[in-house]
Amino acid sequence: MTRGLRVSRLTAGLAAATVLCLTASGCVTVHGELEVLPGATESEAAQALKDFTAAYNAADKAYDPALDADRVTGSLGAINQAGLKARQTYSPDGNKAHEPLELTDATYIIPKKAGWPRWFLADTDSNRDEDGGKLDNRWLVVFVRSGPDALWKASYLGVVAPSQIPEFTLDEDGLATPVEPQNGELTVSPADLSIAYTEYLQKGTPDVFAPGTSTSVWRETRRTTRRAGFSYQYIDQPLTGGGFGPLGLRTEDGGALVFFSSKHFERQVTAKGLKPEVNADVKALMTGEVTNSLTKERVSSQLAHVPARGQASESGGRVRVLNRLPGLIAAKGD
């Protein structure tokens, strides 16, 4: 079985909104439902994946964000909708290079919980393989539903090697255990992950993240970026409310696999006589006019393994960011 991903296609398609209401507690009571129930049945989960894939393909083929707007939300929705909007601007006749996305070999990890919203994780194989399928990645898609009459919407996507996916804690019925946002048994509670991550990128503290491409390497790259006549400024902000709230599942090692969101600004300021470069995507999403300054705004979703407090692990008890999916959502010229 081949599994993989071309990151450029991902950010050009799925990366190109929040229409789902998630609360900080992760539990909303609707119609008096307080009983702990599975988030979905397997057949419901399979249909949700099928509906999302069909809507995504229609939108990607036409470069029309309206065609999958009711099937995406949260950070994935913001990235997807902005990307499609941009491409519709400069390719109004649609995507002539469209290749249908296929998500197969799905396993559904379904947590049990009370009330709404409900959600589940689809562990899938993608046909977006690199180098003839030499990579062996899994696409982990989170689906959320805000109420009994609402549609299932994809809110998070993580792309990881199978070896990075931990074993989930399952009960006798095969149902997973969700992690409360304020859980204090983990090294960092899910509710605090976005705050800790953005503070780390800005200051280097708190020192709770394992070294990696989405943590120490990215921070150092930004710190050491140099170009004659250009200066670079970065601002990182947490995203924790509404459909951007964290979602996590307990793992057999005592920790949790958690999806969380963040927002990032990159400002380029040039010396007199120079201008920041503006590509087609930036131009399509930009307000103002570039003279000597350009600010790019991105939303990013992260997939992290968070160990339990005091837990010995290969990361030394630190949070491992397994995958990061960023997408441009706006730009401003000055």
pLDDT of residue 44: 97
pLDDT of residue 124: 97
- 28-32, 204-208, 308-312, range with greatest mean pLDDT: 204-208
Nearest by Cα to 248 from 304, 192, 206:
304
Band of residue 110 on the pLDDT scale cut at 50, 70, 90: very high
The pLDDT tens digits of the residues spanning 246-301 come to 999 999 999 999 999 999 999 999 998 899 999 999 999 999 999 999 999 999 99
Band of residue 212 on the pLDDT scale cut at 50, 70, 90: very high
| Least trusted range by pLDDT, from 87-91, 252-256, 301-305, 309-313 | 309-313
Angle made by CA atoms 191, 194, 199, in degrees to the nearest 5: 125
Nearest by Cα to 97 from 201, 2, 9, 6:
9
Angle between helices 74-90 and 42-62 (to 10 degrees): 20
Is position 295 within any domain? Answer: yes
Nearest by Cα to 194 from 184, 180, 213, 209:
209
pLDDT of residue 311: 74
Domain that holds residue 252: 7-333
Segments in the chain forming alpha helices (H)? 7-13, 42-62, 74-90, 190-203, 216-224, 280-285
Give yes or no for residue 89 having a pLDDT over 90: yes
Other beta carbons less than 10 A from residue 97's beta carbon = 10
Segments in 14-163 forming alpha helices (H)? 42-62, 74-90
Distance separating alpha carbons of residues 325 and 15, to the nearest angstrom: 8
Other beta carbons less than 10 A from residue 107's beta carbon = 14
Q: Are 130 and 4 in contact (CB under 8 A)?
A: yes
Give yes or no for residue 159 having a pLDDT over 90: yes
Strands (E) across 23-170 are located at 36-38, 103-109, 112-114, 118-126, 138-145, 153-160
Q: What token pair was written down for 272? A: 């007199």
Is position 230 within any domain? Answer: yes
pTM equals 0.87
Residue carrying the six token digits 């989960």: 45
| Least trusted range by pLDDT, from 222-231, 244-253, 304-313 | 304-313
Q: What percent of the chain has pLDDT over 70?
A: 87
pLDDT of residue 134: 56
Q: Are 326 and 319 in contact (CB under 8 A)?
A: no
10 Å CB burial of residue 276 (0-12, 13-18, 19+) is buried
Q: What are phi and psi of 214, to 5 degrees?
A: -95, 0
10 Å CB burial of residue 106 (0-12, 13-18, 19+) is middle
Number of domains present in the structure of the chain: 1
pLDDT of residue 19: 31
Residues in the chain: 334
pLDDT of residue 9: 43
